[in-house]
Amino acid sequence: MSSEAFEVTIPSDTARGQAVQERIISLLEKLNFPPRDVFGVRLALEEALVNAIKHGNGMDPEKNVHVRCRVNDVSAVVEIEDEGPGFRPETIPDPTAEENLEKPSGRGIMLMRAFMSDVSYNDRGNCVRLVKRRDGDEAE
C-alpha cells in the first residue's frame, strides 16, 4: 500500500496555510483519490486552516499552526493544531437556523462535517482531526 506522511509547523499566515493545503492535495491526487473527495478535502482544509490561523491564533505572528498529515490508498487523515485557548464546537450556533441564515459565521465547521468522513476535536478544542475515507471505502 502506498502511504505518505509529513508534519509541518507554519506561522499564522493564510498564504502559508495555502501552501500546506496544496501539498496535501497533491498527495491525494498522486494516490488517485476521486475528484469529489479532493474537492471536499480542499474545502475542509481551507476552513480548518483559516479557523486555526484566524480564530485559534488570532493572526498572532508569534503563534504557529502544526499540521500532521497521513495519506494512503484508503484514507487521508489531517490534524491541525493551533496555539490558541481552544473552543467548544457545540457552542457554535446552527448557521442554517432561520434567524442565523444571514449571519456570516458557523458555516466553516458545517462544511467540514459535510464533506469529511469524520471531524473531531481534542478536549481543549485547539486541534481538529479531519478524516476522509476514499469514496466507497468503508474502512479507514
Partner 1 sequence: MSSGGHRRLDIEEVGDVTVARFIDKKILDETNIQIIGNQLFGLVDEDKRGKIVLDFSNVEYLSSAALGKLITMDKKVKAAKGKLRLCSIRPDIYEVFAITKLNKLFDIHENQEKALEGF
Nearer to partner 1, 50 or 131 (CB): 50
Gap between the Cα atoms of 29 and 78, Å rounded: 15
Q: CA–CA distance from 55 to each of 34, 41, 83 (Å)?
A: 31, 20, 10
Between helix 35-50 and helix 107-115 the angle, nearest 10°, is: 150
Q: Residue 130 CB: number of other CB atoms within 10 A? A: 25
Shortest distance, position 139 Cβ to partner 1, whole Å: 25
103 near partner 1, judged by CB under 8 A: yes
Q: How many residues bind partner 1 (CB under 8 A)?
A: 23
Binding part of the chain for partner 1, among 65-73, 77-85, 99-107, 116-124 by CB under 8 A, reads 99-107
List the one residue from 15, 61, 62, 91 that touches partner 1 (CB under 8 A).
15
Residues near 49 by beta carbon (within 8 Å), at least 6 away in sequence = 14, 17, 18, 20, 21, 65, 67, 80
55 binds partner 1, rule: CB under 8 A: no
Contacting positions for partner 1 (CB under 8 A):
14-15, 18, 36, 39, 42-43, 46-47, 50, 54, 95-96, 101-105, 107-108, 110-111, 114
